[in-house]
């Protein structure tokens, strides 16, 4: 019998497992079930010769202390890889060409991304009163504050880049809580930017020395960071720390109440394990199936969190065929600009060591909530689509010498309107099952940073809860 069982060995489950061990839970009291043959979930790197290919996440922003703290506690900070200076340069494909994203709101006036009317409307933002409603979509929020043109161009592209989502179908406060807070706390986006810049400046003066040491190219609120041998170094390190507690190739199908206490976890081969506490750390749709017998209402609430499919295609070109490494991070494409791909990251420009020096490596995203049918494209149609769209956007006519296709049918959770209420309902129903938790990117944040950030809190709650359950159990004569 385990004290804690974790279902799902993605970054969420691995991080919780490691935090539990750090808090003193002996290895033999922990079991982490992973359906796949290897841990990491979406965080997976494939290596082909000298190419390092991320099948899912590309990196994390270094502005989240818990992730760096985890890296330091694991002692793998020497493995970190910081994105190159040039990745501060980002583009949008709109109005027929690639346009550089301005570094501040002032630059928007001259950027040509928006119509003149659209640009002038953006500058009215500080005069827009607070407003909105509880389940307002990201698009409606942006249209209200910065106008429809900017919402359809800038926000649509940002939502594609983060969630592969549709801005009209994502609840702002769930998907982009920081943006919602900019209005509720500061009264608007421009006011918030000014307020936050002042705050950062004050903090920077205090920590000048350490900040200077950590300085890197400015991404959206942090520097994109990964590991030298690929992002999955983090998952592999955590997996190795969990040692025999991690059971790969075991798909859990059902969770039931144990007798007289705790829970019974059943895998697809019918094997059973008992645990005092259980963390469901897989995507909500799998957790929904697992609790179907335990609590159909909980199962149905979990089943209401949808996902969007996404295909990642890495293409490698001879440098001599392209001419030069593209200068920048890459580009995103808002819908309605005659291009089907969601965007393209210039991997070999962002990172050192992801491709041989005489090659250019790109990573193109296709599909998402706007275009779910794209996941069905066969390889040939997909490659034709990418070749056509990279020609339109980057004027790239070179033929790839290698290509790798990674399909994520249930790619990224979508926090559709009502998401916050749905998660509250899930939490309320879970209260009927002491010691059962859900965790991961389906609920409170889809970034790797978020998954890591919530791990220590869950581990602490588990240790206090599990302690009392176990003690109660031990107090009883067996």
The residues of the shown chain that bind ligand FAD, judged by CB under 6 A, are 7-13, 33-36, 41-43, 56-60, 251-252, 281-283, 286, 290, 310, 312, 408, 411-412, 440-441, 446-449, 451
Nearer to ligand FAD, 384 or 409 (CB): 409
Place of tokens 């009163």: 129
CB of 172 to ligand FAD, least distance (A): 19
User: Residue 153 CB, nearest distance to ligand FAD (Å)?
Assistant: 22
Instruction: Give the bridge partners for 94, in sequence order.
Output: 97
SS (H, E, C) the chain: CEEEEEECCEHHHHHHHHHHHHCCCCHHHEEEEECCCCCECCCCEEEECCEEEECCCCCEECCCHHHHHHHHHHCCHHHEEECCHHHHCEEEEECCEEEECCCCHHHHHHCCCCCHHHHHHHCCHHHCCCCCCCCCEHHHHHHHHHCHHHHHHHHHHHHHHHHCCCHHHCEHHHHCHHHHHHHHHHCCHHHHHHHHHHHHHHHHHHCHHHHHHHCCCCECCECEEEECCCCCHHHHHHHHHHHHHEEECCCEEEEEECCCCCEEEEECCCCEEEEEEEEECCCHHHHHHHCCCCCHHHHHHHHCCCEEEEEEEEEEEEHHHHCCCCCCCEEECCCCCCCCCCEEECHHHHCCCCCCCCEEEEEEEEECCCCHHHHHCCHHHHHHHHHHHHHHHHCCCCCCCEEEEEEEEEEEECCCCCHHHHHHHHHHHHCCCCCEEECCCCCCCCCHHHHHHHHHHHHHHHHHHHHHHHHHHHHCCC
Instruction: For the CB of residue 68, give the shortest distance to ligand FAD in the complex, in Å.
Output: 14
Q: Which is nearer to ligand FAD, 42 or 393 (CB)?
A: 42
CA distance 424 to 260: 29
Q: Which residue is nearest to ligand FAD (CB)?
A: 10
Phi, psi torsion values for 112, nearest 5 degrees:
75, 5
Q: How far is the CB of 321 from ligand FAD (least distance, A)?
A: 27
The residue (of 290 and 314) whose beta carbon lies closer to ligand FAD is 290
- Rank residues 108 and 459 by Cβ distance to ligand FAD and give the closer one: 459
Nearest residue (CB) to ligand FAD, 122 versus 412: 412
CB of 122 to ligand FAD, least distance (A): 27
With contact defined as beta carbons under 8 Å apart, do 443 and 285 qualify?
no
Instruction: Scan for tokens 């507690």, then name that residue.
Output: 245
Q: Which residues contact 318 (CB under 8 A, 6 or more apart)?
A: 358, 359, 360, 398, 401
**Minimal distance, residue 12 CB to ligand FAD, in Å:** 3
Which CB atom, from 162 or from 398, has the smaller least distance to ligand FAD?
A: 162
How open is the CA angle 168-110-148, to the nearest 5 degrees?
A: 20
Residue 314 or 446 with smaller CB distance to ligand FAD: 446
Query: What's the min distance (Å) between Cβ of 42 and ligand FAD?
Result: 4
In the complex, the smallest distance separating the C-beta of residue 439 from ligand FAD, rounded to whole angstroms, is 7
Q: How far is the CB of 467 from ligand FAD (least distance, A)?
A: 25
Nearest distance from C-beta of residue 164 to ligand FAD, angstroms: 7
- What is the closest distance, in whole angstroms, from the C-beta atom of residue 14 to ligand FAD in the complex? 7
Cβ closest to ligand FAD, residue 377 vs residue 446: 446
* Complex with ligand FAD: residue 87 or 286, whichever CB lies closer: 286
Q: Which of 55/137 has CB closer to ligand FAD?
A: 55
Which one, 7 or 390, has the nearer CB to ligand FAD?
7
């Amino acid at each position: 019998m385990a004290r804690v069982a974790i279902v799902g060995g993605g970054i969420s489950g691995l991080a919780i497992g490691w935090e539990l061990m750090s808090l003193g839970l002996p290895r033999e009291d922990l079991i982490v079930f992973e359906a796949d043959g290897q841990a990491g979930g979406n965080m997976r790197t494939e290596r082909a010769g000298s190419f390092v290919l991320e099948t899912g996440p590309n990196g994390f922003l270094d502005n989240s202390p818990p992730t760096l703290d985890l890296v330091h506690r694991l002692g793998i900070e020497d493995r970190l890889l910081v994105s190159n200076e040039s990745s501060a340069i980002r583009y949008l494909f709109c109005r027929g060409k690639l346009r550089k994203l301005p570094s501040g709101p002032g630059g928007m006036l001259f950027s040509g991304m928006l119509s003149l009317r659209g640009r002038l409307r953006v500058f009215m933002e500080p005069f827009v009163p607070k407003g909105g409603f509880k389940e307002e979509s990201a698009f409606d929020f942006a249209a209200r504050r910065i106008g429809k043109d900017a919402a359809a161009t800038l926000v649509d592209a940002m939502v594609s880049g983060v969630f592969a989502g549709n801005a009209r179908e994502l609840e702002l406060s769930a998907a982009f809580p920081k943006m919602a807070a900019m209005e509720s706390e500061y009264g608007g986006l421009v006011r918030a930017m000014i307020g936050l810049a002042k705050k950062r400046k004050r903090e920077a003066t205090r920590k000048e020395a350490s900040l200077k040491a950590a300085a890197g190219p400015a991404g959206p609120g942090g520097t994109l960071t990964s590991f030298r041998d690929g992002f999955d170094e983090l998952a592999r390190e955590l997996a190795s720390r969990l040692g025999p507690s991690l059971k790969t190739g075991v798909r859990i199908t059902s969770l039931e109440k144990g007798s007289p206490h705790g829970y019974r976890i059943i895998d697809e081969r019918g094997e059973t394990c008992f645990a005092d506490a259980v963390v469901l750390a897989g995507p909500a749709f799998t957790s929904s199936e697992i609790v179907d017998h335990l609590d159909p209402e909980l199962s149905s609430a979990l089943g209401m969190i949808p996902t969007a499919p996404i295909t990642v295609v890495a293409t490698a070109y001879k440098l001599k065929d392209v001419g030069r490494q593209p200068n920048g991070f890459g580009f995103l494409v808002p819908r309605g600009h005659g291009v089907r791909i969601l965007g393209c990251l210039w991997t070999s420009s962002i990172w050192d060591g992801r491709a041989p020096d005489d090659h250019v490596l790109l990573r193109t995203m296709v599909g998402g909530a706007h275009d779910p049918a794209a996941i069905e494209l066969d390889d040939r149609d997909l490659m034709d689509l990418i070749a056509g769209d990279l020609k339109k956007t980057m004027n790239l006519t070179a033929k790839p010498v290698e290509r790798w296709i990674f399909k994520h049918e249930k790619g990224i959770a979508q926090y559709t309107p009502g998401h916050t209420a749905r998660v509250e309902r899930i939490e309320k129903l879970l209260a009927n099952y002491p010691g059962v938790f859900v965790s991961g990117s389906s609920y409170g944040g889809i970034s790797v940073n978020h998954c890591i950030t919530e791990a220590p809190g869950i581990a602490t709650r588990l240790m206090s809860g599990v302690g009392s359950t176990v003690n109660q159990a031990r107090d009883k004569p067996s």
